[in-house]
Amino acid sequence: MRKILATAATLGLASFGAIVPAANAQASTACNNAYAAIPAGTFVAYSGANCGATRLGSTTSWDSDWGNSSGPFQGRWQDTNNAESLVYKSSDARRVQLFNGTGDDWAGGHTCIRPDEYYMDTLEEQYFTSGVEVENEISSHRFIWSGCGAFLDS
Ligand SMILES: [Ca+2]
Ligand SMILES: [Ca+2]
């Protein structure tokens, strides 16, 4: 469903009402608008569900610690362990690998957002390979060309 909505957004909002369930219209519009607005290759995380609350970071690069004061995600908005929705406007076959922990050893529980997922309007009931729920638990990310132990599933 989310993939259909994202595709609809690229075609224009005129057709939106025909396929969006009323209860989800507002939430889906926010993530679709976010997807439409960002440059290709950009990954964005929000502190709230439905691409709401604070936009924690928007980047085409990696960050091995969302809680420190360097890179696209910093402690300013309490980025680490705060993301509840994501947008990824892929420009190639890379997926964004998301980690529960930090560090450039890129180890521990992780999952990925596929290049054709478009966005995740919630991270509830999504889990890292460690079994930890992804919602409010992402602390680092990078782009990878292949492999990943798990994928977010909308
Ligand atoms: Ca950082
Ligand atoms: Ca949050």
What is the whole-number distance in angstroms between the Cα of residue 81 and the centre of ligand 1?
12
What is the whole-number distance in angstroms between the Cα of residue 81 and the centre of ligand 2?
7
- Domains along the sequence of the chain with CATH: 39-144 (2.60.20.10)
Q: From CA 141, how far away is CA 73, in angstroms rounded?
A: 10
What is the whole-number distance in angstroms between the Cα of residue 90 and the centre of ligand 2?
24
The number of the ligand nearest the C-alpha atom of 61 reads 1
The number of the ligand nearest the C-alpha atom of 75 reads 1
Torsion of CA 87, 128, 49, 8, to 10 degrees: 40
pTM: 0.84
What is the whole-number distance in angstroms between the Cα of residue 78 and the centre of ligand 2?
9
Backbone dihedral region of 75: left (phi > 0), alpha (psi from -120 to 50 degrees) or beta?
Answer: alpha
Per-residue pLDDT of the chain (154 residues; tens, 9 = 90+): 355 454 444 444 444 444 444 455 555 799 999 999 999 999 999 999 999 999 999 999 999 999 999 999 998 778 999 999 999 999 999 999 999 999 999 999 999 999 999 999 999 999 999 999 999 999 999 999 999 989 999 8
Count of beta carbons in the 10 Å neighbourhood of residue 37: 12
The number of the ligand nearest the C-alpha atom of 66 reads 1
The number of the ligand nearest the C-alpha atom of 138 reads 2
